[in-house]
Structure formats: structure tokens, C-alpha cells
Amino acid sequence: MRRTLAAGVALVAVLAHGAAAGARSVHDEPYTFETTWNAAVRMVRVDLGCPILERDQDVGYFTFTYRDGPRTVPGSIEIVRTEVDGRTGARVIVQIPEMPTYVESMMLTRLGRKLRTEFGEPPPPVRHPPVQPPGIPDDRAPDGGTPAPGESPGSPSPTPPADRPSQNSSHAASDHARESC
């Protein structure tokens, strides 16, 4: 309990510091939280050689020290479970407030490349068929039932309904208009 509270306080401090500077870059990855988390930790610690100061996978963040030549500055990565293209994914938020935004963007690009190299291309997006609104018949016969024999689906009815006047007779149309008034 104490550890979670301390982690939450540390996260708020890092996020507040980042919010004051306004530096933050976000990207959604179509990989699971766990896959993205592991790749991000390895990228920062192994590939970039940055020491990780604190990490809490349950909360979904870690802090690190970014090295820019002789200079070192604090940074953080937060990973949040989300939905990407209709499937489970991860939103990655990188903050290094004392560096230009392109450094955060570079880290996000590098993470995306690492995920694709190590785990392959993600599966294609999930496509859901369009939902037919209730009360609207689909492309069947005018009554919403099955097409009559010899009739193709969606084709107009060969004869107009008896309660409607023919479009060829203007006289019949005017009679019908008088009846409905």
C-alpha cells in the first residue's frame, strides 16, 4: 500500500513537472500493454543506456535519466491500456520536459520500430460490419421480406403499389392529391 502511494506521488510529481513545461509526446501502439512495456524498458535501459530510477508496471510508468552529452535530465514514460484499431493496444506517453519535443518523438519512433522488429507487424485492424439501424429494411423486397421469384434483391417492384397513382398520369396524381386533403 505504501509503495503504491509513493509511486502515485512520484508519478504526480513527474507529470506536474512535465505539464508545467508543456513537453509531452503521445503515440498509440497496436501491441499489448505487456509487450509495449517490456520493449520500452529494454529500449531505455539497454538501447539508450539510460538508468531507470523508478518503475511501477502496475501503474504503468517509469522514470529515467536521459543523457544528452555531458548533460542529464529527468524523463518518464507512461503506458496506458487502450483500444487501437478495434483491438487491445497501448498508449505511450513520453515526457522529457527539459529537452526539445523532437527527442520525445524520436523515442516514440524508435519504440515503434523496436516493437515491429522484435514482434513482427501487428495483425490488421478489426473491421466491424456496418450496423443496420432498427426499423430500416435491408436490400430486399419493398416489404422487407425475401425477394419474389425471378426478382433480384434490391430491384424495384415491377408494378407500383395499388394505393399509389401512376407517375405517367398527371390527372390521376391530381385526383389523389385532392383525396388526401
pLDDT at 85: 83
Does a structural domain hold residue 112? Answer: yes
DSSP structural state of residue 151 = -
Does a structural domain hold residue 8? Answer: no
Does a structural domain hold residue 176? Answer: no
CATH number for position 62: 3.30.310.80
Does a structural domain hold residue 2? Answer: no
Does a structural domain hold residue 154? Answer: no
pLDDT at 7: 46
pLDDT at 84: 87
Does a structural domain hold residue 90? Answer: yes
Q: Is 79 helix (H, G, I), strand (E, B) or coil?
A: strand
The whole-number mean pLDDT for each consecutive block of 10 residues of the chain, a chain of 181 residues, reads: 48 43 82 95 96 96 94 96 90 96 96 96 78 69 54 53 49 43 37
CB 165 within 8 A of CB 176: yes
Residue ranges of alpha helices (H) inside the chain are 2-21, 33-42, 101-119, 170-180
Handedness of CA 125, 126, 130, 131 (dihedral sign): negative
pLDDT at 79: 97
Residue type, 50: C
pLDDT at 58: 94
Q: Is 85 helix (H, G, I), strand (E, B) or coil?
A: coil
Number of domains in the chain: 1
- Which structural domain, as residue segments, surrounds residue 56? 24-119
pLDDT at 125: 80
Does a structural domain hold residue 61? Answer: yes
pLDDT at 15: 44
pLDDT at 25: 93
Does a structural domain hold residue 174? Answer: no
